[in-house]
Amino acid sequence: MPAPHAEHDAPKAVSLFEAFLFWLKLGLISFGGPAGQIAIMHQELVEKRRWLSERRFLHALNYCMLLPGPEAQQLATYIGWLMHRSWGGVMAGVLFVLPSLFLLIGLSWVYIAFGDVPLVAGIFYGIKPAVTAIVVQAAHRIGSRALKNNWLWGIAGAAFVAIFALNLPFPLIVLAAGALGYLGGRLLPEAFSVGGGHAVTDKSFGPALIDDHTPTPAHARFRASRLLLLGLVGALLWLLPMGLLIGLYGWEGTLTQMAWFFTKAALLTFGGAYAVLPYVYQGAIGHYAWLTPTQMIDGLALGETTPGPLIMVVAFVAFVGAYVQQLFGPEQVFIAGALAATLVTWFTFLPSFLFILAGGPLVESTHNELKFTAPLTGITAAVVGVILNLALFFGYHVLWPEGFAGRFDWPSALIALGAAVALLHFKRGVIEVIGACAGVGLLAHLFLL
């Protein structure tokens, strides 16, 4: 029988194996995008298990939100590193991604090999308009949080015009928005200080293993020699596979270009996966033609319905591109797709691990509240504009599948409208909406088309 007030005792030390089981479980159940994934981690690690305090959790989260890359995966990596050194961080981050990679490889193969089967085609017919509504919801969600004054609305509008009308590359828009944010922070600090991250609170769920005043572990203290070693290891982990790809396939080879393209994408994901999707479609569809706009929409749907970071849609892009191009011949299309998906995942997530393992000791040197910088406030505002453009891009290809000169697909329009109402008005979950739309799409495909 537990002692009275046992819940107020600090929890026992967590073994590496116990942590492994939790991070594996998290990788299998982390649906709902970054907000849902962070909520699961908070509930499990702060409220129930009390592995770390509310303040330490939010301190880590604020840092992860400053970085390019998937913030939920980086938060898992940070907590794993804080508790069990570098191997603990690597384990937590890898297990957050690995189930999603295996699932997406399997689903991508089913999609590309059996996509013309009426059952599969009908399901995706309903999912496409749902994805359009989901992207609209993302623009609304980020916009309602980020666009707090006319200056930020102006940056969002300018970003929309830049990508929609002028077709400027996404990296240029990000740089320009960051520069405007920097200037705004100096000239109008009150207008560019609203991007702030998650506030630190004094809420407590009882003593935690890593509490507010727990001394920083020895491995989490900053050492210049360790930072240099991490930099060298990170460079080797990028250079060795990239050098191998160049040696085997040349710089212009498909796998080499995928590795290079998604390395750049990994450094541009300020604001989450939806922010980098315009860059991915500009490159993967417009420049490289690895897949079609319709396939991109379907890939985003698969990414929404699998656990793990939404940016894992890059694995789908790589699988389809390598599979369709038959990189290793017609008999080994699955191997080509699976290898491409795995390579792209490596190059996309490697920077995230390095940011956490290298920057963590600097963050742990102070437990003061971190806030978004003014440049990041400007970038977040611009992200709203480029996501709105993405929604229009998807909507065009869903509602006018043959171009504006062709027919208007009214069943898709009704499904998209219903999905938007369910998401924005009734606040239904993404997976729930996708499931319902898939069922309606199957019926429409079988009986109306």
Residues contacting residue 289 through CB under 8 Å, at least 6 positions apart: none
Q: What's the mean pLDDT when you consider all of the chain? A: 85
Q: Which residue has the higher pLDDT, 308 or 259?
A: 259
In degrees rounded to 5, what are phi and psi of residue 52? -150, 160
Q: Which residue has the higher pLDDT, 55 or 421?
A: 421
Q: Residue 93 has what pLDDT?
A: 96
Specify whether the CB–CB gap between 237 and 353 falls below 8 A. no
Could you write out the DSSP letters of every residue in 7-44?
Answer: GGSPPPPPPHHHHHHHHHHHHHH--SHHHHHHHHHIII
How far apart (Å, rounded) are the C-alpha atoms in residues 138 and 278? 13
Determine which of 63-67, 262-266, 290-294 has the lowest per-residue pLDDT on average.
Answer: 63-67
Q: Give the closest residue to 63 by CA, choosing from 376, 386, 380, 387.
A: 376
In degrees rounded to 5, what are phi and psi of residue 210? -110, 95
Q: What percent of the chain has pLDDT over 90?
A: 40
Q: Residue 196 has what pLDDT?
A: 43
Could you write out the DSSP letters of every residue in 366-409?
Answer: --SPP---HHHHHHHHHHHHHHHHHHHHHHHHHH-TT-TTS---
Determine which of 38-47, 158-167, 264-273, 378-387 has the lowest per-residue pLDDT on average.
Answer: 264-273
Q: Residue 199 has what pLDDT?
A: 43
Segment 325-337, tens digit of pLDDT: 999 999 999 999 9
CA 312 to chain centre: 7
Segment 184-213, tens digit of pLDDT: 888 888 888 654 444 444 566 778 888 878
pLDDT (average), residues 272-286: 79
Which regions of 10-159 does DSSP assign to beta strands (E)?
none
How far apart (Å, rounded) are the C-alpha atoms in residues 72 and 75? 5
Segment 337-374, tens digit of pLDDT: 999 999 999 999 999 999 999 988 887 775 544 444 57
Q: Residue 171 has what pLDDT?
A: 76
Both tokens assigned to 114: 């059996």
CB atoms within 10 A of CB 285: 18
Residue 51 has pLDDT above 80, yes or no: yes
Q: Which residue has the higher pLDDT, 321 or 431?
A: 321
Q: Residue 278 has what pLDDT?
A: 80
Both tokens assigned to 93: 């981050």
- If residue 248 lies in a helix (H) or strand (E), which one and from where to where? helix 224-249
pLDDT (average), residues 245-250: 96
Fill in the DSSP letter of residue 251. T
pLDDT (average), residues 101-121: 87
Q: Give the closest residue to 235 by CA, choosing from 338, 339, 318, 358.
A: 358
pLDDT classification of 152: cutoffs 50, 70, 90: very high
Q: Residue 70 has what pLDDT?
A: 84
Determine which of 103-112, 247-256, 297-306 has the lowest per-residue pLDDT on average.
Answer: 297-306
Q: Which residues of 142-163 are buried (b: 16+ CB within 10 A; e: fewer)?
A: bbeebbbeebbbebbbbbbebb
Residue 41 has pLDDT above 90, yes or no: no
pLDDT classification of 240: cutoffs 50, 70, 90: very high
Q: Residue 88 has what pLDDT?
A: 95
Q: Radius of gyration over alpha carbons of the chain, in Å?
A: 22
Q: Give the closest residue to 327 by CA, choosing from 343, 348, 311, 347.
A: 343
Q: Which residue has the higher pLDDT, 12 or 439?
A: 439
